[in-house]
């Protein structure tokens, strides 16, 4: 069972109102009474929710716990969800909060303060430029695209796990799960400007991570290594 | 006129269609004169596609079973969990 149990009810109801006000606004409203049973909703979202939780938790066991905790909280708060069209963002917001609580319960405080001073050097890294300059082996006419083709699912997951969580979350929500920046900001309960800033930092850490991973794992060989 | 550094900063927001009209026009004006940023924009598009396509692992059957029990009972199952 989920290791972190608590904080259900009021928090999720308040979050439901907040996320509903923002996420999926274009989807329109459902007629009250059209609401699907929660079990159907949970089954529909389970695969993607699990993928989100794996990327969030960085650990399969923790991801299992997180999925269960999320669904438990969501099940209890579901009657207060006024617009079922916005269930997806609401579920992800609950998962994010459950993950934060999970970290706190284990003594790992999840940082919610700005990160402006963190990894300032990495902010300038350009994977595009690095590939062009290093021109790594194997050589190719489609150097940049071939570099990306080297990565399997596990490789990308490994790189993602190395990204600072506060920068990783905006990337996961927008790039992997297709939320708009505005929706992601609502899910994370941060201003849009902060979201965009963190998305940029996450992207830079992703670029740096992909390059470092490729070199460290022998996916490419640079001129320095051949000497 | 924005420089390459600013163009790169706006690139993913541009791909997300999250830029306002003025930053978009400045960004696109920069692209008209900068081959390097055009290349990086295309690369960014492929990078985003690559990342988004690499979905998470499949749901383990054990978890799916526990979820079904949770949904049936209204409480999570402790079976098989650490």
pLDDT at A63 over 50: yes
Residues from chain A contacting residue B34 (CB–CB below 8 Å): none
Backbone dihedral angles phi then psi of residue A40, each to the nearest 5 degrees: -65, -40
- Residue B32 within a domain: yes
> How many domains would you assign to chain B?
1
Q: What is the pLDDT of residue B44?
A: 93
Q: What pLDDT shows up at residue A8?
A: 46
Torsional sign, CA A58, A63, A65, A70: positive
Mean pLDDT, range B55-71, rounded to an integer: 90
Range of the domain at B19: 4-73
The pLDDT confidence band at residue A10, using thresholds 50, 70 and 90, is: low
Q: Is residue B81 part of a domain?
A: no
Q: Could you tell me the pLDDT band of residue A24, with boundaries at 50, 70 and 90?
A: very low
Distance from CA of A110 to the nearest CA of B (A): 23
Can you give the pTM of this predicted structure?
0.79
Distances (CA, A) of A69 to A56, A155, A202, B69: 14, 28, 27, 13
pLDDT value for A6:
42
Range 56-75 of A in CB contact (< 8 A) with B:
60-61, 64-65, 67-69, 71-72, 75
Query: Which CATH class name applies to A122-226?
Result: mainly alpha
pLDDT digits (tens, 9 = 90+) for A135-158: 776 666 788 888 999 998 889 888
At CB < 8 A and 24+ separation, what contacts does A112-119 make?
A112/A166, A114/A194, A115/A164, A115/A166, A115/A167, A115/A198, A115/A201, A116/A197, A118/A164, A118/A201, A119/A164, A119/A201, A119/A204, A119/A205
**In chain A, where does the domain assigned CATH 1.10.1740.10 lie?**
10-105
**Å from B7 to nearest chain A CA?**
12
Q: List CB contacts (< 8 A) between B75 and chain A.
A: 72
Closest Cα in chain B to A2: B76
Condensed to tens digits (0 to 9), the pLDDT of residues A71-102 reads 999 999 998 888 888 899 999 999 999 999 98
What are φ and ψ of residue A221, in 5° steps?
-120, 125
B49 domain residue, yes or no = yes
Structure tokens at A82: 């006024």
Sign, Cα dihedral of A208, A214, A217, A222: negative
Tens of pLDDT, residues B1-21: 899 989 988 898 898 888 888
Asked if A72 lies within 8 A of B75 by C-beta distance, the reply is yes
- Tell me which of A30-34, A145-149, A186-190 is least confident: A30-34
A179 to A84, A89, A93, A110, B11: CA distances (angstroms) = 17, 8, 12, 22, 17
Do the beta carbons of residue A171 and residue A66 sit within 8 Å?
A: no
What is the CA A118 to chain-centroid distance, rounded?
A: 19
Question: Which residue ranges does chain A devote to CATH 1.10.10.10?
Answer: 122-226
Alpha-carbon distance A96 to A124, whole Å? 29
Is residue A2 within 8 A of residue A66, CB to CB? The reply is: yes
- In Å, how far is A47's CA from the nearest CA of chain B? 6
CA B33/CA A114 separation, integer angstroms: 35
- State which CATH number among 3.40.50.1950, 2.60.120.10, 1.10.1740.10, 1.10.3720.10 fits the domain covering A10-105: 1.10.1740.10
Cβ separation B54–A153 shorter than 8 A: yes
Specify if B80 maps to a domain: no
């Amino acid at each position: 069972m989920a290791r972190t149990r608590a904080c259900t009810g009021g928090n999720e109801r308040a979050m439901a109102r907040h996320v509903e006000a923002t996420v999926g606004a274009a989807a329109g409203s459902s007629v009250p009474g059209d609401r699907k049973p929660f079990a159907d909703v949970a089954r529909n979202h389970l695969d993607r929710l699990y993928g989100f939780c794996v990327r969030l938790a960085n650990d399969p066991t923790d991801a299992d716990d997180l999925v269960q905790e999320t669904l438990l909280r969501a099940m209890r708060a579901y009657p207060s969800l006024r617009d079922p069209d916005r269930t997806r963002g609401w579920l992800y917001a609950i998962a994010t909060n459950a993950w934060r609580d999970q970290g706190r319960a284990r003594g790992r405080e999840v940082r919610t303060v700005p990160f402006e001073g963190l990894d300032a050097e990495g902010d300038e890294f350009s994977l595009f430029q690095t590939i062009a300059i290093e021109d790594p082996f194997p050589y190719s006419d489609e150097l940049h695209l071939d570099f990306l083709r080297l990565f399997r699912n596990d490789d990308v997951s490994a790189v993602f796990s190395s990204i600072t969580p506060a920068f990783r979350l905006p990337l996961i929500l927008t790039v992997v799960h297709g939320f708009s920046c505005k929706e992601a900001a609502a899910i994370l309960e941060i201003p849009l400007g902060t979201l965009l800033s963190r998305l940029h930092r996450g992207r830079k850490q992703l670029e740096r991570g992909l390059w470092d991973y490729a070199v460290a794992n022998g996916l490419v060989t640079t001129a320095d290594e051949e000497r | 006129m924005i420089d390459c550094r600013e163009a790169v900063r706006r690139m993913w927001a541009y791909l997300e269609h999250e830029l306002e009209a003025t930053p978009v026009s400045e960004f696109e004006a920069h692209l008209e004169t900068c081959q390097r940023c055009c290349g990086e924009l295309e690369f960014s598009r492929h990078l985003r596609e690559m990342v988004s396509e690499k979905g998470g692992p499949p749901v383990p059957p054990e978890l799916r079973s526990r979820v079904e029990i949770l949904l049936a009972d209204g409480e999570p199952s402790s079976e098989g969990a650490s």
